[in-house]
Every structure is written in structure tokens, then in C-alpha cells.
């Protein structure tokens, strides 16, 4: 008889997820099973819960699957042929299931691997369960002394924000201004990387006073309340000669933040759209975009980004603020995420250690 475990699964398109009993996964050759310590909750999970079937299927997602793509825990079982890991090792999981050998992966651009559109927690079983199966050790990052019950968000919120900052670094000048729109799960990491890696003046825009205060605690020089024409003008005033921001990273992504963000970007600067709120960029070639600048967008991060962020956390130079919820309160934790009342990342922890 198979051993059973609890998992938080999406079972039907458009229906709320539920806690179900499923068999504990067994590792096949080359695979690893991880006992989950904690799994972070991401805004994109809320998108999955409401996703119409046509959209989900066009992305290659098949029901049912266990939610959760910010997972960390301990190696519990090793399949045949696995090297480099031992039972009990604390690890974080990189969720996109990139293949490791396609053209993109060979170039280190596994963020764009065609196989990576489906991953653990979106189309495959993720970390909101007592155990999770990892099909390749490429997806495991050793945690060393970091606590696996809170490390999961480093692989997604942390690594995605790192990818954004890394993309933007060549456009950031000494003494320039960098704007972070939205200081939630991702933006709060971006503020810290910018302070660590650049000498720019970091300006945070957020509608929540609590998040603005948190951003200042993390090193933001200035905070502003809303994104709009007025804000874009204020940002230009903050920069030398009123030339605008070297870089604007938009972690919200509604029409208003996109339009204000592009308007605040200097000639030769960069606007990065990371937030998945579905806003549109409606700008003409003629005078509507930063002259000789860059507008970029992406989803997720590379395996290298996850390794870098975990190195930074191990060095103790970044803060990973989490709010822990027991597995039984997973639905409530998602409600709080949806309402925007969390200060750090919500992490669901398992009563297993």
C-alpha cells in the first residue's frame, strides 16, 4: 500500500484549489524527492486559480497539479544514478523545468527554454505538499546554513527581482536614479540588490504606507505614493538636469505604472516590465519611447540567478522577510496575499521538523 500525503491541488480550471490526499512520490532514475519545509505563495498562483481553461491549455498546463513554486526542504530520497546530493541535504528548488540541452539552455538562457513554460507548481506537482519530486538535480540549489523553512521565496521572488536588476545594470550610472514601482515580494528584493550593486539613488513608488516604510528600512532613499504624470515629473526633478531615471523597474504592470515608468526613463535608460497585472504599453516610435534606450520584459529567472541570490542570502547581505502559515491555513494565506495585507512573502510551512 502506498504512503499518502496532503497536497494543495488545483483540480479543475476555474475552481478553487483544495487539500487532497495523494501518494508520496517515489524518485525514478536520476530523480530526487524532497521533503518540503516551506513553500512561498506567489501572485501568479492567484492567476492560475482564475485562469480560463483555454489559456491554461495553450500554456501546456494539465490538471490536476499541486500548487507552489517557491519550495525548499531536505533531500528525502535519491533515485539511482544521482550524484552530488545526499539524504538530509537542505535544498531549494528552481521551479521551471528547463531541459539543459536546447539552444537556449546551452547559452545559459534557461529562462527561455521551451520546456520551462511548465514547472513545479504550474503544470507539474509543486511544493504545497509534504513531498515533491524533482526530475533533475539541475533544479536543486544547496542551502548550506540557510533555513529551508523560509528559503523558498529566494528562488522566485528573489531570483526574478535579481534578473531584473542584472538586466538593467549596464544602464545604471554613478549618481543616477533608479525607480522601483511596487515594493512587495519582488520589489523589496530589487531595492536591496540596487543598494548592494550600484551607487544609484533608489526611489520606490508604492500605494501602501507600510510597504513604503519597509522599502526605506531596506535602503530606499526616497518613496513616492502613486504612479502617474505627477510622479514622472517628480522623478525627473530628482535626477541631475531633470533628465529622468536611468532605469525604472515596474513590478506592478498596470497601464498607469507602465505609462508613468516610461515617461520617467531618461534618454539611453531602460524600462523593465516585470509585474503581471496585464497593463499595456501604448507608445509610438516617434518620441514615445526613451531615445536610444531599452524597454524589456521577461518572466521568471535563470538557474544562475537563483544560485546568485542564495549566495547573497548565505553571505547575510540581504533580508528575506517572510510570514509563516501552517499548511492547514494555506487558503487564508492566499486570501491575505490577494488582499495585499502581507508585509513579507507568505510561506506555508509543514509540521515535519
Q: Which residues bind Zn ion (CB under 5 A)?
A: 42, 44, 98-99, 102, 105, 113, 156
Identify which of residues 95 and 265 has a Cβ nearer to Zn ion in the complex.
Answer: 95
Considering beta carbons, is residue 158 or 176 the nearer one to Zn ion?
158
Closest CB 101 distance from Zn ion, rounded Å = 6
DSSP secondary-structure letter at 122? B
Q: Minimum distance from CB of 203 to Zn ion (Å)?
A: 25
39, three cell numbers: 513553500
Torsion angle in degrees (nearest 10) through CA of 198, 166, 185, 49: 170
- If the CB atoms of residues 84 and 108 are measured against Zn ion, the closer one turns out to be 108
Q: In angstroms, what is the minimal distance from the CB of 177 to Zn ion?
A: 28
- Smallest CA-to-CA distance from 316 within 204, 216, 196 is with 196
**Cβ of residue 280: shortest distance to Zn ion, in angstroms?**
22
E strands present in the chain: 4-10, 18-23, 32-40, 65-66, 71-78, 90-93, 119-120, 123-124, 131-134, 140-142, 177-181, 201-205, 222-224, 245-250, 265-273, 294-297, 322-326, 345-349
CB of 38 to Zn ion, least distance (A): 15
b (16+ CB within 10 A) / e for 151-170: bbbbbbbbbbbbbbbbbbbe
Question: ω before 197 within 30° of 0 (cis)?
Answer: no
84-93 per-residue burial string, b: 16 or more CB within 10 A, e: under 16: ebeeebbbbb
Amino acid at each position: 500500500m502506498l504512503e499518502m500525503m496532503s497536497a494543495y491541488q488545483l483540480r479543475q480550471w476555474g475552481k478553487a484549489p483544495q487539500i487532497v490526499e495523494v501518494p508520496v512520490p517515489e524518485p525514478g532514475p536520476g530523480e530526487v524527492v524532497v521533503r518540503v519545509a516551506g513553500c512561498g505563495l506567489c501572485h501568479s498562483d492567484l492567476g492560475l486559480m482564475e485562469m480560463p481553461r483555454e489559456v491554461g491549455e495553450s500554456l501546456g498546463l494539465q490538471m490536476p497539479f499541486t500548487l507552489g513554486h517557491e519550495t525548499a526542504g531536505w533531500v528525502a530520497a535519491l533515485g539511482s544514478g544521482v550524484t552530488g546530493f545526499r539524504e538530509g541535504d537542505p535544498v531549494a528548488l528552481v521551479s521551471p523545468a528547463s531541459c539543459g540541452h536546447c539552444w537556449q539552455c546551452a547559452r545559459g538562457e534557461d529562462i527561455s527554454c521551451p520546456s520551462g513554460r511548465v514547472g513545479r507548481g504550474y503544470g507539474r506537482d509543486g511544493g504545497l505538499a509534504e513531498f515533491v519530486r524533482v526530475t533533475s538535480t539541475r533544479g536543486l540549489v544547496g542551502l548550506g546554513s540557510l533555513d529551508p523553512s523560509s528559503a523558498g521565496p529566494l528562488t522566485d521572488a528573489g531570483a526574478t527581482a535579481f534578473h531584473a536588476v542584472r538586466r538593467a545594470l549596464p544602464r545604471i550610472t554613478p549618481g543616477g536614479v533608479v525607480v522601483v514601482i511596487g515594493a512587495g515580494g519582488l520589489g523589496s528584493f530589487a531595492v536591496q540588490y540596487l543598494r548592494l550593486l550600484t551607487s544609484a539613488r533608489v526611489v520606490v513608488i508604492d500605494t501602501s504606507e507600510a510597504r513604503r516604510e519597509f522599502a526605506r528600512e531596506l535602503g530606499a532613499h526616497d518613496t513616492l505614493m502613486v504612479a502617474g504624470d505627477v510622479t514622472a515629473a517628480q522623478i525627473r526633478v530628482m535626477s541631475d538636469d531633470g533628465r529622468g531615471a536611468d532605469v525604472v523597474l515596474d513590478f506592478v504592470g498596470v497601464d498607469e505604472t507602465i505609462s508613468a515608468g516610461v515617461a520617467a526613463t531618461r534618454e539611453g535608460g531602460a524600462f523593465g516590465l516585470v509585474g503581471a497585472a496585464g497593463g499595456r504599453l501604448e507608445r509610438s516610435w516617434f518620441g514615445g519611447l526613451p531615445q536610444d534606450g531599452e524597454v524589456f520584459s521577461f518572466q521568471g529567472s535563470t538557474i544562475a540567478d537563483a544560485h546568485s541570490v542564495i549566495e547573497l542570502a548565505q553571505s547575510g547581505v540581504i533580508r528575506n522577510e517572510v510570514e509563516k502559515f501552517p499548511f492547514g491555513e494555506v487558503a487564508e494565506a492566499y486570501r491575505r496575499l490577494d488582499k495585499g495585507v502581507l508585509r513579507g512573502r507568505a510561506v506555508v510551512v509543514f509540521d515535519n521538523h
